[in-house]
Amino acid sequence: MKTTDVNAFTLKNGALFAENVPLSTIADTYHTPCYVYSKAALIDAFQQFQLGLLGTNHLICFAVKANPSLAILNLFASLGAGFDIVSGGELARVLAAGGNPQKIVFSGVGKSHEEMRAALNAGILCFNVESENELHRLNSVAAEMGKIAPISLRVNPNVDAKTHPYISTGLKNNKFGVAFESAAQLYEQAAAMPNIAVHGVDCHIGSQITELSPFLDALDRVLSLVDHLETKGISIAHIDVGGGIGITYADETPPAFAEYAKAIMQKLVGRNVKVMFEPGRALVGNAGVMLTKVEYLKMGNLDDADKPKHFAIVDAAMNDLMRPALYDAYHEIVAVEPRDGEAHTYEVVGPVCESGDFLGHDRLLNIQEGDLLAVKSAGAYGMSMASNYNTRARAAEIMVDGDQHYVIRAREKIEDLFALEIVPSPR
Ligand code: LLP
């Protein structure tokens, strides 16, 4: 099941389009590499999620880290979204994009004094507190400011999200959250702190989760905690079930939003709580592609006894899309203008000087130098994890809306990359 119904990137008359715009037009206009997003797909993903929650007391907080583009944050804000942030930088972005501070939750294990102050000044909805020491720090920062900090504890339910170890967060050996066993006692401490107000319980078990059961197991544990707290006179107004719902990159079959929402809401029947969600990937992942151009084909020796290795060297690299190099993640790669004739199996690689710089292994493609490729499902954790490694300027980001297209982030200029650097004058 795909997470959006709008398939914005389709072949029309033998060429790949973003909505009604040929991707070749995007490449001609803005050059490559670039990220291309479909506004309709972004809206559709958000609305599908909302639809699954119709009639319930809920708040969808987009996880900014998945794609912090101001234009995308602004679009989600206009649809009523809240935001899950993990830094003062993300707070500033949400505010700059017109997000409502009263719909912001602040997660993360390392909130600094300054970040706490900025969030208290902005008047955010809730701090998702991840440790005892963070709770004490927040209480004293709030006291200095004469404010009360609204909190949830992020509890670690110790369930296996069955996903890549780097993106699994709900096991007790992860650095995230408060151990389930100590959560009740910490809530009692929090409830007694003068500058802390207990609002909710939070949990997030990992990312790219394609089954319902880990979410439901985690929620069962959270609900047992909520019931226990009730007996101690601590009432919980909201339950934040985190993000993590997966998307289809290849042949994964994550639950549809409606199915996921229904399963969660079923467990909450009869409870007077608001439910909060922190989806990132599922709202943006399949609404974006990375567009790149083949610079060189480097063919292996066809007489080689082993399978010859052919390389398609493209103008995007691991600095632009890090997921393949970092997680061995799969992204489908397709020709923008597919050719007839014989295809070859290629390693699709970038110009960065590392053997780990690949976008895809063993891809059957019929391509020539100068052809355009679209790296699909790149809307989440693509541009947000891009770097300037090898002094490569980060790609432009383009939004497509019907037959319109426009820049939402200009390509970086090389001189910007060293603008902050100082060469010391000789002594
Ligand atoms: N809430 C919290 C507290 C999180 O840590 C995350 C993601 C989310 C929500 C959103 O999760 P999502 O719905 O996107 O799965 N860079 C990795 C993914 C890291 C996810 C980190 N936390 C990747 O490219 O796969």
Q: Look at residue 209 and tell me whether its pLDDT is greater than 80.
A: yes
Which of 306, 310, 308, 307 minimizes the C-alpha distance to 296?
Answer: 310
Closest atom of ligand 1 relative to the 385 alpha carbon: 16
**pLDDT band at residue 165 using 50, 70 and 90 as cut-offs:** low
Quick one: 306 exposed, middle or buried, by C-beta within 10 A (0-12, 13-18, 19+)?
A: exposed
The predicted-structure confidence for 242-254, as pLDDT tens digits, reads as follows 999 999 999 999 9
User: Are 190 and 151 in contact, with CB atoms under 8 Å apart?
Assistant: yes
**pLDDT band at residue 308 using 50, 70 and 90 as cut-offs:** confident
What average pLDDT does this structure show over 45-65? Answer: 96
User: Are 300 and 309 in contact, with CB atoms under 8 Å apart?
Assistant: yes
Question: Per-residue DSSP letters for 15-81?
Answer: EEEETTEEHHHHHHHH-SSEEEEEHHHHHHHHHHHHHHTTTS-EEEEEEGGG---HHHHHHHHHTT-
Contacts of 280 (CB under 8 A, 6+ apart): 62, 63, 64, 65, 66, 67, 84, 207, 243, 380, 381
What separation in Å is there between the alpha carbon of 163 and the centre of ligand 1?
12
Domains of the chain with CATH codes: 107-279 (3.20.20.10), 286-418 (2.40.37.10)
Q: Percent of the chain having pLDDT more than 70?
A: 94
Which of the listed residues 211, 281, 384 should we mutate to test ligand 1's pocket, taking the one with most ligand atoms within 8 A of CB?
A: 281
Q: Which residue type does 402 have?
A: G
For residue 235, report the phi and psi dihedrals to the nearest 5 degrees: -105, 145
The predicted-structure confidence for 173-205, as pLDDT tens digits, reads as follows 677 889 999 999 999 999 999 999 999 999 999
**pLDDT band at residue 158 using 50, 70 and 90 as cut-offs:** confident
Separation of alpha carbons 346 and 356, rounded Å: 15
User: Are 369 and 274 in contact, with CB atoms under 8 Å apart?
Assistant: no
- Tokens linked to 204: 């997030």
Q: Look at residue 33 and tell me whether its pLDDT is greater than 80.
A: yes
Q: Where are the alpha helices (DSSP H) in 280-333?
A: 281-284, 323-327
The predicted-structure confidence for 404-424, as pLDDT tens digits, reads as follows 999 999 999 999 999 999 999
Q: Percent of the chain having pLDDT more than 90?
A: 90
What pLDDT is recorded for position 6? Answer: 66
Q: What mean pLDDT is reported for the chain?
A: 94
Closest atom of ligand 1 relative to the 329 alpha carbon: 25
The predicted-structure confidence for 73-116, as pLDDT tens digits, reads as follows 999 999 999 999 999 999 999 999 999 999 999 999 999 999 99
Question: Is ligand 1 within 6 A of the CB of residue 278?
Answer: yes
Name the one residue in this structure whose structure tokens are 């985690």.
218
Closest residue by CA, ligand 1 atom 9: 243
**pLDDT band at residue 3 using 50, 70 and 90 as cut-offs:** very low
Which of the listed residues 3, 277, 278 should we mutate to test ligand 1's pocket, taking the one with most ligand atoms within 8 A of CB?
A: 278
Separation of alpha carbons 189 and 383, rounded Å: 40
Q: Look at residue 172 and tell me whether its pLDDT is greater than 70.
A: no
C-alpha distance from residue 417 to each of 65, 325, 383, 413, 420 (Å): 22, 23, 16, 7, 8
Separation of alpha carbons 345 and 366, rounded Å: 9
Active site includes 353?
yes
Question: Is ligand 1 within 6 A of the CB of residue 177?
Answer: no
Separation of alpha carbons 302 and 197, rounded Å: 69
- 9-23, 143-157, 173-187, 400-414: the lowest-pLDDT one: 173-187
